[in-house]
Amino acid sequence: MDQLHLMNVFVAVVDEEGFAAASRKLKMSPPAVTRAISALENQLGVQLLVRTTRHVRATDAGLQYAEDARRILQSVESANESVAGVNQTPKGKISITAPVLFGQQYVMPSVTQYLQQYSNTQVEAVFVDRVVNLMEEGFDLGVRIGQLPDSNMRARKVGEVKLILVASPDYIALHGAPKSPKYLEEHTLIAASSSSLGKGWRFLKNGEKVYQRIQPRLWVSTNQSAIDAAKSGFGITRVISYQVANDLASGALQTVMEKWQPEPLPIHIIHREGHRTSRKVRAFIDLLANNLKKTSALDWHS
């Protein structure tokens, strides 16, 4: 069988975690999928999948092969698109990921605009509050907030945001506002377990870095729940500035300890492709970057 065909079938089985789901995705019969996987394993002399009555999972060798196969298949697709010409209309499916609130507020408008502009495209958008490995999880691109570790990912900076403390005007009127990190012990604090901010909050003033351990009275599972609790007047929470841009503009929330805000966090669009980025991915990156750079809540500085 054709090597690229076998790779494509194998990647589909790994991604869909099953033969039946992969056959539906590829529009192949289940026996044809099974034959393709058997042919690939026989050709390589390595077991790529572990099959049980309920699950199919990749072996360690299978996971590595799937990663390499995805890269090869993407390179082939990019090469084909390159030959077809840079002016070719984008078509096909792309998968993107971003933090939950950022995705909902700032990525989705670009997704719908992209789909309306290019009728032969599909988008899978997954918004989660954790660091996603694009290669391992099969995403074409993502939005990352914070400093980027050294990697082979390509990145385009599109803005900056800040970590800020916020509370409602009613809470501040009743309890006052803390003047420095040590006074947070005297206040009611709200924290989100989905946040990567941890059990301590870091501050910066005049070059002085301060780490303050916190003891929240309320832990919630989502950033939006923490924001809602703060808006109700319950206490103080720490958020990323874009998450409450509208609430700050309307006066529903106010910032406290502004002089202690740490350095801004960069926002990047990252993608896992090489120098021949596919037309469909490149078109979405250009569209999203242009839209984000025009968003005042992201404090873009050219």
pLDDT at 84: 59
Fold of 3-84: Arc Repressor Mutant, subunit A (1.10.10)
**pTM assigned to the model:** 0.68
Contact 257, 203 (CB under 8 A): yes
Q: Which two tokens stand for residue 83?
A: 């030959």
d(CA 61, CA 48): 6
Q: Does domain 163-260 have CATH number 3.40.190.290?
A: yes
Low-confidence ranges of the chain (pLDDT < 70): 1, 53, 78, 81-87, 150-152, 194-199, 273-277, 300-302
pLDDT at 275: 47
Contact 127, 103 (CB under 8 A): yes
d(CA 141, CA 195): 21
- Please report how the helices 19-26 and 30-44 are oriented relative to each other, as an axis angle in degrees rounded to 10: 110
Through-space distance between the first and last CA atoms of the chain, rounded to whole angstroms: 52
Class of domain 92-160+265-298: alpha beta
pLDDT at 81: 65
- Angle, CA 184 vertex, CA 252 and CA 257 arms, to 5°: 55
Is the dihedral angle over the CA atoms 226, 227, 230, 234 positive or is it negative?
negative
Q: Do the first three CATH levels of 92-160+265-298 and 163-260 match, i.e. the same topology?
A: yes
3-class secondary structure, 184: helix
